[in-house]
């Protein structure tokens, strides 16, 4: 099946097949992605992205959550810590 492949929480997966000359597939793919993005922009279609909100009645809860996020980010980056 070509077209919409599946719907996700933060994505719509689309499958296409494009025939190119040998060696031109990467340039054609970049151009296709650019045209799709331009079409989304001109039709005011925005991409969703996951967010995290911390709610609580105590200021220290928010500070603890921020500190946990900072520690997790440092753990992801080799040498940062």
Condensed to tens digits (0 to 9), the pLDDT of residues 4-58 reads 888 887 788 888 888 999 999 999 999 999 998 999 999 998 877 778 877 766 6
Q: Is 14 helix (H, G, I), strand (E, B) or coil?
A: strand
Distance CA 60, CA 29 (A): 48
Task: Note the pLDDT tens digit of each residue in 2-14.
Answer: 888 888 877 888 8
Cα 22 vs. chain centroid, distance in angstroms?
30
Query: CA-to-CA distance for 70 and 72, rounded, in angstroms?
Result: 5
**CB contact at 8 A, 56 and 62:** yes
């Amino acid at each position: 099946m070509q077209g919409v492949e599946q719907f996700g929480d933060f994505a719509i997966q689309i499958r296409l097949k494009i025939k190119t000359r040998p060696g031109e597939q990467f340039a054609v793919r970049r151009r296709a992605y650019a045209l799709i993005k331009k079409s989304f922009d001109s039709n005011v279609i925005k991409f969703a992205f996951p967010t995290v909100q911390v709610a609580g009645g105590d200021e220290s809860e928010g500070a603890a959550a921020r500190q946990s996020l900072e520690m997790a980010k440092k753990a992801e980056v080799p040498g940062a810590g």
